Structure 1
Amino acid sequence: MAEARRLSVRDVLTDGRIALMLPLGFSSGLPFLLVFSTLSAWLREAGISRTEIGMLSWVALAYSFKFLWAPIVDRYDVPVLARLLGRRRGWMALSQLGVALGLVGIASSDPQANLTFAILSAILVAFASATQDVVVDGWRIDAAATERQGMMAASYQLGYRLALICAGAGALYIAEFVDWRSAYLAMAALMSVGLVGTLLAPRLDQGAARERPSLAAAIIEPLTDLFRRKGPILIPILVLISCFRLPDFVAGVMANPLYIDLGFSKADIANVSKLYGVWIGIIGAFAGGLALTRLGLWWTLLIGAFIAAASNLMFAWLASGNATLPGLTLTISADNFAAGFAGSALIAYMSGLCSPSFAATQYALLSSLYALPGKLIGGASGAVVDAYGYPLLFTATASIGIPLVILCFVVRQDTLQTVREKDEEVEAPAPTAGAGSRA
């Protein structure tokens, strides 16, 4: 396998495409919390029941099902905008305007008087945001060669994290010192950052003329390849992936309502959860990456499965008479570090499962699978809290760590074999001229 050309600092600093991923990443990251934890804080403060808040989290299912309409985004033009901007940029602009419109709709709603309008606006935000993710990934892949994709992704992640701070801490600060309507209008205005990035991005229409894969080629064949390579062990693998982040997703739905019910101010939540917690999550992600190099994939996966579930016990502890600012800080520290660590482990594990011939599609399908059960079950979390209280909910989600650890042992041999196969691929000599190679 030929070694990719090493990028110099000058290459990075002078490549406008890498710089453009910063505003595009910001635009992709901004809507997520605004239909998830930030919105749940507003609704709880407005007196909306925890059961309804939990069910509202189902709007985020759009991110899990985006692969279903990705072929439409990839194959068809947006009327008028495609002629002006090209296919990719036309879809980008449309989705960004859709997100902004949905945020204005949420800002204009009164959850106490008309919750339905707020829900419909949130659905628009989630659908448009998921579509934006699809098209930004498509533009990124078309825009640069393989050796530049790492830096493109790094710039995107930086923009995404900055957006999470704005949509989390920033929105809570505005809501605390002004009101929720102003917070969401400000977030809608910030979508202009992504729109400017779209207008500055080069027009890439070469992909419009080439043959597009059929639905079978895009979804059925990658699935068939997974079953053919893995056999029966694929079943516990898929169960492990689907449940791996389940405790984290459930905690994400009920965490902000818990903080509100315990009497923490929006400023406290913003400072500890949305600012401090983001950086602890980044530290956890780097710790997971370091563990991968030192301990190997399987041990990192096992540790990640255990600590991500066990960290939910901290929420149960917080709700059981420990609602102090130091208690909140300790809880957020444990949860965010564990989530970052487990996230690195899961990304590495899913990447190792993908075949080089179907890497992008298989990863998209696996990443959709890991998010789906958590969002489905997270929708019922409010009803559990209303019936039994916060401590029981978070203790129950922590107990998911037991079957996860067992599943890690079930897939251990396959995981070790996968690592050996990937090492052999890396160490294999480059094909000679004229020899066939996989795409």
Structure 2
Amino acid sequence: MTSSSDTADRLQDGHGWRDLLYHLLHDARVLRLFLLGFSSGLPLLLVFGTLSYWLAEAGIDRSTIGHISWVALAYGVKWVWSPLVDRLGLGALTRKLGRRRGWLLLTQLILIGGILGMALTDPAVSLERLVWLALLVAFTSATQDIAIDAYRIEVAEQRMQGLLASAYTLGYRLAMISASAGVLWIAAAFDPDEKTYQHVPWMIAYSAMAALMCVGMLTTLFSPEPDVPTGDSVTERRGSASLFDRVSAWFVAAVANPFVDFFRRYGVLALLILTLIACYRMSDIVLGVITNVFYQNMGFTKDEVASASKVYGVIMQLAGTALGGAAVYRFGVMPILFIGGLLSAATNLLFSVLAGIGHDYWWLIAVVGMDNLSAGVATAAFIAYLSSLTNVMYSATQYALFSSLMVLLPKFFGGFSGDLVNAWGYPQFFTFTALLGVPVLVLIALAWRYAPPVPARA
């Protein structure tokens, strides 16, 4: 029988997808990460892309929709509280389930309540309440991501991580289809008239997503706690040291050391790397804030958007991810990082063409396909780049820092997307988002030349 280590090696060689399916069915750890990936991917679009389509149909102004997208900034600042999730116990929950599972169960219960609360709120009547609930869901979802990343790293040996990450990504993408195409299909099925806004179809669709969060909760309850020392927990450490000394020691170990390690390895070039991370996805995230509003304004129905953007688009992105992963293995990270950045910016120009053509389903298919294929290539290269920067000793905190920084500035500037569309129109806005990718290419070239990944010292 193929060992887990051999399977991980074969995945790296591009021959392991059959093994991934085999281990999904035979290795409980891989199956758990697949299901936890589903739990992680489900809330994101419910407070971002899918929510923007709902708000547009409810008659909310584009500028307001852009500003509401700022609730997703919670994903961009999760590094601030990641040390707490990494080290802080939760009293009875921690004693009963363990530190990782305690945090997972707490966040999943809150997510179920938050998504159900969104379902019961009509934005045409209580927009402010819906925004607060969306913020709660975004914050809690980001916290769940921190806990799942830590669980994945601790639940298996290093050579299993590639296999677990593949299973997690597969579950995450399936959840995104559910939270985008699934929601739109359900809402369309219960919508008596596409031309007039009704709250009930969206209430049913979001309630179904709240029910699907039970997948993650049940996975948490029936999974073992990772067998790792937990003596660093503030709530668990005891002894003669004062509370101040214990908290200070915890702060140094959990918060300061991960950042010190990164700057020690790269010195002043760390600023160049962090700037690249902060800007790499600028063009596609700023565009992504308004795309669902654009589709609705162009007259595309929920069924058309669901099939083209949320199913076909995700399939093309998975294909791009596979292509990008193979290219990274063959040519290295930095060349594909540059090509991915170039393609992501260039394909934004296709949306300008679609804006001029108007409601044409096959043009929508073409634009969505090219955009998502390029995004997949860029994502595969970028994840490989971030992983190469991370010290496994501080993997949870450092990766949370990188992945947070990746979306912080793009989502902040994306909040002004509606204002820019109102001022310029769609064609000029999409051209602007393409131009945002030009400085990124310069940053990649500089990092390629002066700041190659430095291996972490134990």
TM-score norm. by structure 2 comes to 0.86
Q: Name the amino acid aligned to 2:441.
A: V
Following superposition, the deviation at residue 215 of structure 1 comes to 2.9
Q: Does the C-alpha gap of structure 1 residues 216 and 51 become closer, same or farther in structure 2, counting only changes over 3 Å?
A: farther
Provide the residue aligned with 2:138 in structure 1.
Answer: 126
* Contact 2:74/2:139 (8 A) holds in 1: yes
Provide the residue aligned with 1:190 in structure 2.
Answer: 212
Provide the residue aligned with 2:15 in structure 1.
Answer: none
Provide the residue aligned with 1:6 in structure 2.
Answer: 6
Following superposition, the deviation at residue 79 of structure 1 comes to 4.4
Provide the residue aligned with 1:379 in structure 2.
Answer: 415
Q: Name the amino acid aligned to 2:210.
A: A
1:199 and 2:221 are equivalent in the alignment: yes
Q: Encode CA deviations 1:298-343: one digit per residue, 9 max, x unaligned.
A: 2212111111111111112111234300111111011101111111
Q: Does the C-alpha gap of structure 1 residues 205 and 117 become closer, same or farther in structure 2, counting only changes over 3 Å?
A: farther
* Contact 2:83/2:255 (8 A) holds in 1: no
* Contact 2:298/2:358 (8 A) holds in 1: no
Q: Select 1:89's aligned residue among 93, 101, 125.
A: 101
Provide the residue aligned with 1:138 in structure 2.
Answer: 150
CA distance in 1, matches of 2:89, 2:32: 22
Following superposition, the deviation at residue 360 of structure 1 comes to 4.5
1:69 and 2:69 are equivalent in the alignment: no
CA distance in 2, matches of 1:237, 1:87: 32
SS at match of 2:209: helix
CA distance in 1, matches of 2:253, 2:94: 26
CA distance in 2, matches of 1:364, 1:110: 33
Following superposition, the deviation at residue 92 of structure 1 comes to 1.2
Provide the residue aligned with 1:263 in structure 2.
Answer: 299
Provide the residue aligned with 1:341 in structure 2.
Answer: 377
* Contact 2:352/2:431 (8 A) holds in 1: yes
Q: Select 2:67's aligned residue among 31, 51, 55.
A: 55
Following superposition, the deviation at residue 52 of structure 1 comes to 1.0
Following superposition, the deviation at residue 232 of structure 1 comes to 3.3
1:154 and 2:166 are equivalent in the alignment: yes
Provide the residue aligned with 1:362 in structure 2.
Answer: 398
Q: Select 1:272's aligned residue among 305, 308, 316.
A: 308
- Between 106-115 and 202-211, the greater mean CA deviation after superposition: 202-211
1:396 and 2:432 are equivalent in the alignment: yes
CA distance in 2, matches of 1:198, 1:94: 10
Q: Name the amino acid aligned to 1:113.
A: V
Aligned ranges for residues 274-423 of structure 1 at < 5 Å?
A: 274-355=310-391, 357-415=393-451, 417-418=452-453
* Contact 1:242/1:370 (8 A) holds in 2: yes
Alpha-carbon RMSD across the aligned residues, in angstroms, is 2.3
Provide the residue aligned with 1:434 in structure 2.
Answer: none
CA distance in 2, matches of 1:79, 1:41: 40
CA distance in 1, matches of 2:261, 2:85: 25
Following superposition, the deviation at residue 373 of structure 1 comes to 0.6
Following superposition, the deviation at residue 205 of structure 1 comes to 6.8
Q: Name the amino acid aligned to 2:262.
A: L
SS at match of 2:230: helix
Q: Does the C-alpha gap of structure 1 residues 7 and 331 become closer, same or farther in structure 2, counting only changes over 3 Å?
A: closer
Following superposition, the deviation at residue 145 of structure 1 comes to 2.0
- Between 101-110 and 397-406, the greater mean CA deviation after superposition: 397-406
The size of the alignment, in residue pairs, is 420
- Between 195-204 and 28-37, the greater mean CA deviation after superposition: 195-204
Provide the residue aligned with 2:36 in structure 1.
Answer: 24
Following superposition, the deviation at residue 210 of structure 1 comes to 4.5
CA distance in 2, matches of 1:75, 1:359: 13
CA distance in 2, matches of 1:203, 1:135: 12
Provide the residue aligned with 2:16 in structure 1.
Answer: none
CA distance in 1, matches of 2:264, 2:155: 33
* Contact 1:56/1:119 (8 A) holds in 2: yes
* Contact 2:285/2:410 (8 A) holds in 1: yes
SS at match of 1:320: helix
* Contact 1:88/1:205 (8 A) holds in 2: no
SS at match of 1:223: helix
Q: Name the amino acid aligned to 1:223.
A: F
CA distance in 2, matches of 1:359, 1:134: 11
Following superposition, the deviation at residue 158 of structure 1 comes to 1.5
- Between 193-202 and 321-330, the greater mean CA deviation after superposition: 321-330
Provide the residue aligned with 2:262 in structure 1.
Answer: 226
Q: Does the C-alpha gap of structure 1 residues 313 and 15 become closer, same or farther in structure 2, counting only changes over 3 Å?
A: same
Following superposition, the deviation at residue 227 of structure 1 comes to 3.0
Q: Does the C-alpha gap of structure 1 residues 35 and 211 become closer, same or farther in structure 2, counting only changes over 3 Å?
A: closer
Provide the residue aligned with 2:128 in structure 1.
Answer: 116
- Aligned residues: percent identity? 45
* Contact 1:87/1:205 (8 A) holds in 2: no
Residue ranges of structure 2 left out of the alignment (5+ in a row): 9-18, 191-200, 235-248
Following superposition, the deviation at residue 236 of structure 1 comes to 2.8
Q: Does the C-alpha gap of structure 1 residues 210 and 225 become closer, same or farther in structure 2, counting only changes over 3 Å?
A: closer
CA distance in 2, matches of 1:153, 1:239: 26
Following superposition, the deviation at residue 191 of structure 1 comes to 0.8
Q: Name the amino acid aligned to 2:219.
A: G
CA distance in 1, matches of 2:117, 2:348: 34
Following superposition, the deviation at residue 356 of structure 1 comes to 5.3
* Contact 2:88/2:233 (8 A) holds in 1: no
Q: Does the C-alpha gap of structure 1 residues 109 and 5 become closer, same or farther in structure 2, counting only changes over 3 Å?
A: closer
Following superposition, the deviation at residue 197 of structure 1 comes to 0.5
Q: Does the C-alpha gap of structure 1 residues 156 and 312 become closer, same or farther in structure 2, counting only changes over 3 Å?
A: same
CA distance in 1, matches of 2:259, 2:32: 33
1:107 and 2:119 are equivalent in the alignment: yes
SS at match of 2:105: helix
* Contact 1:165/1:278 (8 A) holds in 2: yes
- Between 393-402 and 276-285, the greater mean CA deviation after superposition: 393-402
Q: Does the C-alpha gap of structure 1 residues 337 and 101 become closer, same or farther in structure 2, counting only changes over 3 Å?
A: same
